[in-house]
Each structure stands twice: as structure tokens, then as C-alpha cells.
Amino acid sequence: MPSSAKRVRKVYVAGRPLPQHANATRWQHIRALLGSRRYIWRFAIFGGIAFLAAAATGRAVLAAIALAIAVASVGTLLVREATRRAHKDYFAGFALHHGLTYSDRMSLAETTPLLSAGDRRHCEHYMEGPLGVADADNGGTIAGLAHYVYETREQRNDRRNRAVHVFTPHWFTVCVVDLPRAKAAFPGVFLSRRTGLLSGDGWLDRPGLQSVELERAMTDQKYELFARSGHDRDLLLELFQPSFQSWIVGQDFQVLFEYDQGTLVVYAPRRLRKGAELEAMLHATERIATQITRTGEPLHAVADSVAPPLGVDRFPPPPPATKPVIEAVPTPPIDSRAGSASVPPPGVQL
């Protein structure tokens, strides 16, 4: 989650301290919109038109029903706008309180199966900032927390039997982190919901994945683990060690994730709107990211044949030798006429 070393800011939403959930200020916005000119005129115009159209038929009951329908329709629009404003206020305040930046709407790169699912997709209430660290493994890592939706297009027939396209939304809360350091060790890991007759994570390319056995506790909690073919099974078992599996099962809501192409996406299959749930999602992302980097990038000696790190053209040359070189002392010539060796120079012994 955002670093606790930062100074906590005192944030107010709609004149009050940051509430605990996103709908806390909805009634304040409803009262404000009821007194606005825009909705006063809407109630007057739509209600008057409906009443006059029904009164022209000469039936008082029909006029009353038409007036009620018009007022209810405008009231529905008012409540939707008030809810949207309350959510925007809350998530902007949550981001400010935790040192994150806020965007009302955002599109994410399609790097994992979930982020590329459906026919169209986008994020709402996108909040981005540094991921807090329990150690140095995730230092400087940026996380993006948001409500994510992908929509599937279906073709249906209307009352006149004309073909129309209908988009069905599928909502999630996601936290996205780039972790390229463990990409080679884990080409693709997907912890998803257990597939049933009417459930399952249909965006996953199941034919290209292999199932990995989990402990009984996770299986009972409807978890299912898949990995791309070619994975090191021992490394996967090290990643999903019993303590890590117990931690996942012990969360307040079902935490799922997929790690593919160096991108980690931790997600919950619903929109989280409470501060405690959003903070729990940030904590879960930190825990999973740390587990992946620790397991996928263990410390080891670098061999001479290993390529240099990313961004380095070549390894530095070896340092010069520091051991002194001893030069050989020339041997004095032998005097053949005297039959004995000549006297060596001073300081030289034969």
C-alpha cells in the first residue's frame, strides 16, 4: 500500500472527514440537485407534458399515473447523478489521503488475459502511486488501483424482431503492478475461481494452460491454479508454499491474481467501495508482488557467459594485475681462455 513513511493528510469530502464508504455523501448531493434549476425545470417540464397528454384523454387516473412515471424517471436520473458525484468525491479523497493520483476514467494496456477480455473495456476511479514495501524487493514499484469493467457484446431481437447489439458489463476491482524481474521464471500464472456450470473465469485461454494442484483448503474455497506450459513445477510449488496459500484463504474477500508478460493483476470479482476493502486490496497486492519477486529472482552468482543486465552495453573489463613481475637477472659470460668463470659484478652471485 502507499508508504506509511509519508505524512498522513487530513482530507475532507463534502465538508466532512473522509467517510468509510463511497455512498456516504449521496444524500447531500441529492438535496443539492433537488434545489438546482436544472432539475426543477426537468420536473416541471416532463411532469407537465405527461399530465397534459394524459388529461387530454379525459381520464384523471391515467393523468395521475403519467405524472408519477415522469417524476419517477427524472428522480432516477437525479439519484444516478448524485451517486456518481458521491463516488467521485470519495475515491478522489481516498487517493489524496493515501498519496495517490486520481483519474475519473482510464484505459489500461492489454497485457494479461483479464485486461484484454471482452469486446470493450475501461477503468473508473483509477488511483496510482508507489506500492508500500515491507522490504527492498518492491522499492519504487508503482501500483494502479481501479474499478475495471469489460463488456461482452451479444445480439438480441427487439419487439419488432430487429437485431440489436447489447453490451453486458462484468465488473472487478483491480490493482495492477509491473514486475518484469520475475518474467523469465514465471511465464504465466493464473489463480482464478473454480469453474462451475454457471461460473468460472471465461477470459482465460484454458486449452493453453495446465492445471496445478493446490492444497485442500484452497480447493474448498473455490480456487483454481493454472500455469502456461513449460513452467518449472518445483518453482511453482515454491511460490505457492503452504503459508502463502493459508494467507490467501484467510482474506476477507476472494483475492485472485494473474501474472503474465511481467504484469501482475490482483483482482476481486466485484466493485469494492469501502475504505477497509480498498486498503486490503493494496496490502494483498504488496504481499503477492513480494512473493513473486522473492521466488522468481533468487540471489545467485553471475557466470561469465551470462548477458549483462538490461540497460548495460557490456560488462566492465577486468582490473589490471596487481602482483609484481620479477625480471630475470642475466647470467655473466664465461671466460674460455682462463678456463674459469670471470668474476661476477658486485652484488651478483652465481
Residues 64-98: tens digit of each pLDDT: 676 677 777 777 888 888 888 888 888 988 998 88
Residue where the block lists cell 647470467 = 331
Exposed / middle / buried, residue 22 (Cβ in 10 Å: 0-12, 13-18, 19+): buried
Which string of DSSP letters, residue by residue, matches 317-334?
A: PPPPP-SPPPPPPPPPPE
Q: Which three cell numbers stand for residue 18?
A: 473522509
Q: Please report the pLDDT score of residue 1 as a whole number.
A: 47
Q: Which three cell numbers stand for residue 112?
A: 494479461
Q: Which three cell numbers stand for residue 133?
A: 514495501
Whether this model's pTM surpasses 0.75: no
| Cα Rg of the chain, angstroms | 34
Exposed / middle / buried, residue 60 (Cβ in 10 Å: 0-12, 13-18, 19+): exposed
Q: Please report the pLDDT score of residue 237 as a whole number.
A: 87
CB–CB of 2/127 below 8 Å? no
- Tens digit of pLDDT per residue, the chain (350 long)? 444 344 455 565 555 566 677 777 777 877 777 777 777 777 677 666 666 666 666 666 666 676 677 777 777 888 888 888 888 888 988 998 888 999 999 899 999 999 999 899 999 999 999 886 434 444 568 999 999 999 998 887 777 777 788 889 999 999 999 998 888 889 899 999 886 544 556 777 666 788 888 887 787 778 889 998 877 888 888 999 989 999 999 888 889 999 998 999 999 999 999 989 999 999 999 999 999 998 887 554 444 445 555 555 555 666 665 655 555 556 666 555 555 555 555 555 55
Q: Which three cell numbers stand for residue 237?
A: 510449488
Residue where the block lists cell 472527514 = 17
Tell me how many helices (H) and strands (E) the chain has.
Answer: 7, 13
Note the pLDDT tens digit of each residue in 37-66: 777 777 677 666 666 666 666 666 666 676
Q: Which three cell numbers stand for residue 11?
A: 482530507
Find how far residue 178's CA is from the centre of its chain: 8
Q: Is 79 left (phi over 0), alpha (psi -120 to 50) or beta?
A: alpha
Cα separation, 32 vs 42, in Å, equals 15
Q: Please report the pLDDT score of residue 133 as a whole number.
A: 44
Exposed / middle / buried, residue 100 (Cβ in 10 Å: 0-12, 13-18, 19+): buried
CB–CB of 113/226 below 8 Å? no
Q: Please report the pLDDT score of residue 267 as a whole number.
A: 96
